[in-house]
Amino acid sequence: MRYVDEFRDRAKADILVKEIERLLARMKRDESRPLQIMEVCGGHTHSIFRYGVEGMLPKSIELVHGPGCPVCVLPMGRVDDCVAIAERPEVIFTTFGDAMRVPGSRKSLLQAKADGCDVRMVYSPMDALALARKNPAREVVFFGIGFETTMPSTALTVLQAEREGIKNFSIFCNHITIVPTIKAILDSPDLRLDGFLGPGHVSMVIGDAPYEFIACYYKKPMVIAGFEPLDILQSIWMLLRQIDEGRCEIENQYARVAPAGGNAVALQAVAQVYELREFFEWRGLGSIDHSGVKVRDAYAGFDAERKFAVPNARIADPKSCQCGEVLKGVIKPWQCKVFGGACTPETPLGALMVSSEGACAAYYQYGGIKRGRDDEASAA
Amino acid sequence: MNMVSIPPRRARGKVHVPTVTLAHGGGGKAMKDLIDDVFVSAFDNPLLSPLDDSARMDLLDLAQYGDRLAFTTDSFVVDPLVFPGGDIGRLAVCGTVNDLAVGGALPLYLSCAVIIEEGVSIDFLRQIARSMAATAQEAGVKIVTGDTKVVNKGACDQMFITTTGVGVAAAGVELGAHRARLGDAVLVNGLLGDHGAAILGARGDMALQSPIESDCAPLQGLIASLLNAAPNTRFMRDPTRGGVATVLNEIAEAAQIAIDIDEAVTPLRDEVRGFCEILGLDPLYLANEGKIVAIVPPDEAEPALEAMRAHPLGRQAAIIGNVVAGESGRVTMRTIFGGRRIVDMLVGEQLPRIC
């Protein structure tokens, strides 16, 4: 396939791996621990496991799988709110596929569907709006979830609904924003990261300027990375080159898709429809100030939270889960007390075991657990 | 073929209404008319025509094909009922025929039990029955007994079909996952995931127009050619729901062996790859309805491959991997990128990813 296979070229991968090894060999660094690079985005995590990228890298590089899976970081209380809305007989509740399995304190949307709720999987919020047009006697609610990647499409759908005067459509807004989240990770006292692979899809919308503080104030380099395995290898190589040359910048490997200034139309729609929430709760990370958005008063009629007065209960994460420590790279997924035992993709306890983009689920499914444990055994 | 004595042909009933009603399941004249008009006329054969409570086959006649009876059953619930490359009727015949054939048996007879929701059009029912009849002919099997039930509107999704199959396994054909040995080759007979992608595309949930057709086909001919070329074939299975990944895991676990496959030589249609890229799905877990996974001893791998490729349903056959030394029960894949990953059992249903 054109524009895909070019980015999965094995010969080019071998060249990049050799370059990475060469850079590492000459680099001045603390040899007692591996270089820790966090890929912020869940899409990166998925690709890394899907193509076995981690296993191709020297062991002195450790990839830390960050908080960028919006499905994984959704707190239990918000899922309970979804289920409460979906349980209303007048509601058709629409959602992206992988959000169906996220456990709430009572049940997931998949279980709610099995219990008779009208929960439907859609591929875009516009599909949900089409359902609202087709079912004027029902209330169609779209589960707005995701970072800046999906935020504009939900906003544009609200604006479209307003233009058409559609009254039976609303969104349950759980969109989150990446910058405060990276800041929360950087502020963590147990942080060990040496650099970041920046989120490509998010950057397509917001550009590269919002990340400048990472290089300027926290002195950590970042390379905005694409999602194909060659993109990831090249971005790691670019990051190492910065470290080797003593530079600390925000570089863009994914310029073919993510323009420096972002996407003005998308940003305008986002600014028009949403405003920042004071606080937003994350699974595994607790509350992060200004990390979520809500629907502005001007569009209150499209806000399911106001339309259906959701319970909005805060449910604490299970105590046994160590998602927060995994997210910050303090421990690897298989080192969590409940990994693979009480917490599996079938019965996820923690956030990171939910979606295939979550670090723990990816380790479980794509065999990272085996590699990790083998590495530990051989080190001992 | 010796047959039991055949009673004289009776007058066939005819349906004069456009849709199925509860009366068609009531056991009276309406039901007789429906069975005659739709099923008996489509499946037309002397074992079915008397409409006795059971079809009776001559044991001596069966014994000419082998020394063991093979017996299997499967239910078919598919949405939508008609999809590119097939329909629920074709699926119901192929599924059961293939379950017999991968066990090394020659499929001979099928039963067909249909549960119909009231309101289904008679013309549509005829279309499905004709499709079953044509597929049965293609597979060399006869549909010799059946059952018809009609349920209230909403009690089922238009139509469910259960087919049970009887076949005969030839003497000396012994297939089982436990027979797999280090170095054996893993073969598939062609492009993977077509059925799963065709069904997902046809559902329309994904707002994607896909040109992919289901691979739904009866495989008894291909399997006979394979067994002829590779008589020591260890094991075969048709990778339906759960796809090739699930079948390989089942084999690895049952035989306590490790299997390693190579992504670069795993046959996939570009359209299926593209479809999976867009939705974030893994084609290894997509359903197939016209494919087999065969474990073949190393010295018979090439003849097996040639035999498959010489058959119309095996043109794109490939050796995708081997039984290797490694952790037993584990399936791994060398990725197209040069990495390696574990191919595990799927947890639940594959769901499209958010981004």
**pLDDT tens for each residue of B284-338:** 999 999 999 999 999 999 999 999 999 999 999 999 999 999 889 999 999 998 8
Residues A259 and A337 in one domain: no
Please indicate, yes or no, if residue B216 is contained in any of the structural domains. Answer: yes
Residues B189 and B323 in one domain: yes
Residues A226 and A359 in one domain: no
Residues A125 and A250 in one domain: yes
Q: Which of B169, B197, B217 is the last residue of a domain?
A: B169
Range B175-181 average pLDDT: 94
Please indicate, yes or no, if residue B351 is contained in any of the structural domains. Answer: no
Please indicate, yes or no, if residue A265 is contained in any of the structural domains. Answer: yes
B342·A365 Cβ contact <8 A: yes
Domain that holds residue B86: 19-169
Q: What is the predicted pLDDT for the residue at A369?
A: 44
Residues B212 and B286 in one domain: yes
Please indicate, yes or no, if residue A299 is contained in any of the structural domains. Answer: yes
Please indicate, yes or no, if residue A134 is contained in any of the structural domains. Answer: yes
Partner B contacted by A334 (CB < 8 A): no
Answer yes or no: is pLDDT of A71 > 90: no
Q: Which of A281, A297, A316 is the last residue of a domain?
A: A316
Please indicate, yes or no, if residue B348 is contained in any of the structural domains. Answer: no
Kindly give the residue spans of alpha helices, DSSP state H, lying in B204-287.
220-229, 243-255, 270-279
B336·A51 Cβ contact <8 A: yes
Q: What is the predicted pLDDT for the residue at A367?
A: 64
Q: How many domains does chain B have?
A: 2
Q: What is the predicted pLDDT for the residue at B9?
A: 55
- In whole angstroms, give the CA distance from residue A24 to residue A307: 56
Please indicate, yes or no, if residue A8 is contained in any of the structural domains. Answer: no
Residues A117 and A257 in one domain: yes
Please indicate, yes or no, if residue B156 is contained in any of the structural domains. Answer: yes
Report whether A288 contacts A180 (CB < 8 A).
yes
* Residue B354 with chain A: CB contacts under 8 Å: 70-71, 96-99, 145-146, 150, 355, 357
| Torsion angles phi and psi, residue A182, rounded to 5 | -65, -40
Q: What is the predicted pLDDT for the residue at B206?
A: 58
Residues A346 and A290 in one domain: no
Kindly tell me the number of DSSP H helices and DSSP E strands found in chain B: 10, 13
Q: Which tens digits make up the pLDDT trace of B57-111?
A: 999 999 999 999 999 999 999 999 999 999 999 999 999 999 999 999 999 999 9
Q: How many residues does chain A have?
A: 380
Q: What is the predicted pLDDT for the residue at B345?
A: 84
Residues A352 and A269 in one domain: no
Instruction: Tell me the DSSP string of B18-84.
Output: SB--GGGGSSSHHHHHHIIIIIIHHH--TTTTT--SS----HHHHHTT-SEEEEEEEEE--SSSEET
Please indicate, yes or no, if residue A249 is contained in any of the structural domains. Answer: yes
DSSP 8-class letter at A202: H
Residues B42 and B160 in one domain: yes
| Band of pLDDT at residue B205, cut at 50, 70 and 90 | low
Question: From the CA of B279, how many Å to the nearest CA of chain A?
Answer: 9
Q: Which of B169, B196, B211 is the last residue of a domain?
A: B169
Please indicate, yes or no, if residue A312 is contained in any of the structural domains. Answer: yes
Please state the separation of Cα B213 from the chain's center in Å: 15
Range A205-234 average pLDDT: 95
Residues A260 and A360 in one domain: no
Residues B27 and B148 in one domain: yes
Answer yes or no: is pLDDT of A299 > 90: yes
A53·B339 Cβ contact <8 A: yes
B353·A357 Cβ contact <8 A: yes
Residues B107 and B228 in one domain: no
Residues A48 and A90 in one domain: yes
Q: What is the predicted pLDDT for the residue at B5?
A: 56
For residue B209, the SS3 value is: coil
Q: Looking at chain A, which residue has its C-alpha nearest residue B264?
A: A10
Paired with A176 in beta bridges are A292
Residues B187 and B303 in one domain: yes
* This prediction's pTM: 0.85
Please indicate, yes or no, if residue B7 is contained in any of the structural domains. Answer: no
Q: Which tens digits make up the pLDDT trace of A331-379?
A: 888 889 999 888 888 788 877 887 777 888 888 877 654 544 455 554 4
Please state the separation of Cα A269 from the chain's center in Å: 21
Of the candidates A1, A8, A146, the beta carbon closest to that of B354 is on: A146
Q: What is the CATH number of the domain that holds B160?
A: 3.30.1330.10
Please indicate, yes or no, if residue B355 is contained in any of the structural domains. Answer: no
Please indicate, yes or no, if residue B195 is contained in any of the structural domains. Answer: yes
Please list, in sequence order, all residues whose beta carbon lies within 8 angstroms of the beta carbon of residue A246, skipping any fewer than 6 positions away: none
Q: What is the predicted pLDDT for the residue at B346?
A: 78
Partner B contacted by A144 (CB < 8 A): no
Domain that holds residue A288: 29-316
Q: At what angle do helices B220-229 and B88-101 cross, to 10 degrees?
A: 20
Q: Looking at chain A, which residue has its C-alpha nearest residue B263?
A: A51
For residue A250, the SS3 value is: strand
Q: Which residue has the higher pLDDT, A104 or A307?
A: A307
Residues B119 and B268 in one domain: no
Paired with B318 in beta bridges are B188
| Residues within 8 A of A (CB atoms), B 256-275 only | 270, 273-274
Please indicate, yes or no, if residue A376 is contained in any of the structural domains. Answer: no
Range A163-171 average pLDDT: 97
Residues B183 and B161 in one domain: no
Please list, in sequence order, all residues whose beta carbon lies within 8 angstroms of the beta carbon of residue B140, skipping any fewer than 6 positions away: B107, B220
Residues A266 and A349 in one domain: no
Q: Which of A275, A300, A316 is the last residue of a domain?
A: A316
Q: What is the predicted pLDDT for the residue at B353?
A: 61
Q: What is the predicted pLDDT for the residue at B324?
A: 96
Burial of A256 (0-12, 13-18, 19+ CB in 10 A): exposed
Q: What is the predicted pLDDT for the residue at B142?
A: 97
% of chain A at pLDDT higher than 70: 96
Residues B265 and B153 in one domain: no
Mean pLDDT of chain A: 89
Range A105-113 average pLDDT: 91
Residues B256 and B328 in one domain: yes
Q: What is the predicted pLDDT for the residue at A379?
A: 45
Residues B163 and B181 in one domain: no
| Band of pLDDT at residue B244, cut at 50, 70 and 90 | very high
Please indicate, yes or no, if residue A266 is contained in any of the structural domains. Answer: yes
* Residue A229 with chain B: CB contacts under 8 Å: 337, 339
Please indicate, yes or no, if residue B2 is contained in any of the structural domains. Answer: no
Q: Which of B147, B169, B191 is the last residue of a domain?
A: B169
Residues A43 and A122 in one domain: yes
Q: What is the predicted pLDDT for the residue at A189?
A: 84
Residues A307 and A327 in one domain: no
What are the start-end ranges of the E strands in chain B?
A: 68-76, 82-83, 86-87, 105-117, 142-151, 159-169, 185-188, 235-237, 258-262, 293-296, 318-324, 331-334, 340-342
Q: What is the predicted pLDDT for the residue at A374?
A: 54
Q: How many domains does chain A have?
A: 2
Residues B65 and B162 in one domain: yes
% of chain B at pLDDT higher than 90: 79
- In whole angstroms, give the CA distance from residue A192 to residue A330: 7
Residues A181 and A330 in one domain: no
Q: What is the predicted pLDDT for the residue at B168?
A: 98
Q: Looking at chain A, which residue has its C-alpha nearest residue B270?
A: A1
